[in-house]
Structure 1
Amino acid sequence: MPDHDVAIVGAGPVGLLLACLLAQRGVDVAVYEMRAGADDRSRAIGIHPPGRAALDDAGISAEVRAEALALEGGDVVCDGRILASLSFTAAQRVLILPQHRTDALLRQRLSRLQEGALHFAHRVTRVHDEGAAVSLSFETGREKTASFVIAADGVRSGIRRQLGIDWRERPGTGWYAMVDVPDAHADLRARLHCESAGLVESFPLPEGRRRWVASDPQRMLDDAPTFIDAIRRRTGIRLDLPDGTAPTVFAARQHRASRLTAGRIVLVGDAAHETSPIGGQGMNLGWAAAGRLAAAIERSLGTGVLVLSDYERPTMRAVAGAQRRSFFYMTMGRPARGPVLWGRNVVIGALGTAPLRRRTADMITMRGA
């Protein structure tokens, strides 16, 4: 008999949520994380309707709502003029909560469902599908077995590389700089400045803070004075960053794996697809996929027949759609001048008109994803 029904490699938000969904179904699950402790970086902040539904299914909706902000809508601005303004219905509502807090709530939930399921400082070096089970080898020399192994080990997934699964680049690449700052006048709306000199986004955060993101194709906005100057030149807004604040420069890229399953080994989350954070879809995409995967694993364990295609096919379709949307968002935020800028602003304005407003809000909030 295998040591566990399911072994999940990686304790990020998707791996943790999948573990909770499985444990609720009575599946014996073990989560192995190579880090020695929790990742306290803020990272993803937006919880879209599919993510809200997944967190509801995991049993932490009340805790998330108690800490999160509810985004009321957003405005797209260019040269001081609002091109489009959207307000979200209750069904479209996006919650704002830094990823490290969502992760903490998922860890707490998992510990209540299955004490001792999460194992830090466990680096998996090799997996091998033996037919009836999968073996896992650890850096320490120990070995474990499981009926299924789930690779939730991120965009640089060692398991994906070991399996030889292609990592295919998709359109949509760019560099950005990000900083979270105190904001005494924070409201509950997002603002996207699609300016001629480049994109600037700002989002409210809990506890009176706000996140600012600026496109940074030259990777030069890595210090406070340069970042402040770029925001001022593009938008006219003068930020006041606390002493010692340093922006984080990151790359937005898009990839997806050529396949998500190899026998009893399955890719999920960032190991399966890297989706640009512009538009905030990646984590929510992984959570929605985790719900499909939990159901497929439960059926497979119950019947003894692998039905993982029930997870793979719809997930690949959802990923393709999300990456197309992200590419569109990135295109709308690129520097532009003259007729190109005018044409882009016309498109953005049209998307905010009454006939299209609801559909645009559904697209932005991943309704139906």
Structure 2
Amino acid sequence: MDLSTDPVVIVGAGPVGLTLAWRLAQAGVPVQVFEAEAEITDQLRASTFHPPTLDMFDEDGITDALIAKGRITPTWQIRMHSTEDRAEFDLSVLADDTAHPYRLQCRQAELSRALLARLPEGTVRFASPVTAVEQDGNGVSVTAGSKSGSETMRASVVVGCDGARSVVREAIGAQWEGGTYPENTILVTTHFPFEDHLSGLSGVNYIWKPGGTYSLLRLPDLWRVSLHPMGDQTPEEALEDASIRAQTVDILPAARDMDIVEKRIYRIHRRVASRYRQGRMFLAGDAAHLNSPKGGMGMNGGVHDAWALADLLIEVAGGAGDDVLDAYERKRRPIARDDIVGQADANRARMNATDPVARQAHLDDLKRIAGDPGLARSFLLRSSMIEGLRRAEGL
């Protein structure tokens, strides 16, 4: 497979697609990215960067740029709203395993912007949605729209980083295995100072309240609040400001008039593509796997996909045989199934416990783990995605 004549085409200029483009461009591999949006959007999406992801981006100052725009979070916790009893995990126990023993809370768009700034001009074509992908024995034809009409480009390889409705996944013929959870999730950002009203908050907090759950994640100048619709509310009703404020009053009466900077509602999926590759076409990120946001593993897992695939494509560009690319699905799909989707599903199931006795049992067990440095390190190696990356190396 010659990667020097036709470019590697990446569909999607989110953090996953741009990570792959940056790695390939660094290695001198020709690359072209098509993105449907007109620019990098600052939508309310992922905001947690785990330690190994920060380690990956140390090169070229990208991690420093993220830290400058984000908030270092050395601890995170699971707690009871009514009693403030909590299990708090201190990531400093990972100091021998990572150069960044903490979570970083930062909008994913900041990573996209940092990567875009490091790519050669013209690498990314915005407002160019890919409408068709067709593979033959010598490469892949990619058809994309633009203001001036449609264009077809030849590619040596195509990588779909184009999300849940991936055009590339459809072209590969991969099945979207799994399902959709019944609940919606509402994300809200606000300047309301929750830290002045709830004692002992960490930067990341997953919280049981009577009859439900909510979470609080601290960005540099905002709190990001995760809620769920009440009763039989429609998504439209649940997203109304009055409904959001009614939920926050239920949590904290002092938040009755909190400002609402941004809001978004979405469904949560538990899905993995049945395959990640067909010939010269590959999947990465949300095009390959979708998971509950509990634990913040979706974007990070997608970046890890891109990193692994970039390594293999760079090997091929350097003269290795095409068969090295077979390792991509072998290394990444089990991690998505068992670590990314599997762990996120377990996190969701734990937080969805409604029985007070079951909740307390979960919390007591988590406190026991958090209080033992050895157990805490083992737990955090998994939840911080370090263990999965290490295991993938042996697959």
The reply to whether TM is greater than 0.5 is: yes
Pairing 1:132-281 to 2, within 5 Å after superposition = 132-139=138-145, 140-169=149-178, 174-184=183-193, 189-206=203-220, 208-216=221-229, 218=232, 219=235, 220-234=237-251, 238=255, 240-242=257-259, 245=261, 247-281=263-297
Deviation of 1:301 after TM superposition, in Å, equals: 2.5
Measured in 1, the distance between the counterparts of 2:182 and 2:369 equals 24
Residue of structure 1 aligned with 2:128, choices 107, 122, 128: 122
Q: Does 1:27 align with 2:29?
A: yes
Measured in 2, the distance between the counterparts of 1:226 and 1:353 equals 38
Which residue identity lines up with residue 332 of structure 2 in the other structure? T
Q: 1:235 to 1:361 in 2, by over 3 A?
A: farther
Measured in 1, the distance between the counterparts of 2:51 and 2:208 equals 25
1:314 alignment partner in structure 2? 331
Measured in 2, the distance between the counterparts of 1:86 and 1:131 equals 52
1:98 alignment partner in structure 2? 107
Q: Does 1:293 align with 2:309?
A: yes
What is the TM-score of this pair, normalised by structure 2?
0.85
Deviation of 1:279 after TM superposition, in Å, equals: 1.1
Gaps of 5+ in 2: 196-200, 389-395
Report the count of equivalent residues. 364
Which residue identity lines up with residue 126 of structure 1 in the other structure? A
Q: 1:171 to 1:327 in 2, by over 3 A?
A: farther
Deviation of 1:327 after TM superposition, in Å, equals: 0.9
SS in 2 for 1:155: coil
Q: 1:341 to 1:59 in 2, by over 3 A?
A: closer
1:362 alignment partner in structure 2? 381
Question: Bigger CA drift: 231-240 or 320-329?
Answer: 231-240
Deviation of 1:343 after TM superposition, in Å, equals: 3.3
Deviation of 1:54 after TM superposition, in Å, equals: 2.8
Which residue identity lines up with residue 83 of structure 1 in the other structure? R
Deviation of 1:142 after TM superposition, in Å, equals: 1.7
Which residue identity lines up with residue 9 of structure 2 in the other structure? A
2:392 alignment partner in structure 1? none
Deviation of 1:77 after TM superposition, in Å, equals: 1.4
Measured in 1, the distance between the counterparts of 2:36 and 2:258 equals 34
Q: 1:366 to 1:247 in 2, by over 3 A?
A: same
Gaps of 5+ in 1: none
Deviation of 1:316 after TM superposition, in Å, equals: 0.8
Which residue identity lines up with residue 311 of structure 1 in the other structure? Y
RMSD (Å) for aligned C-alpha atoms: 2.4
Question: Bigger CA drift: 221-230 or 150-159?
Answer: 221-230
Q: Does 1:11 align with 2:13?
A: yes
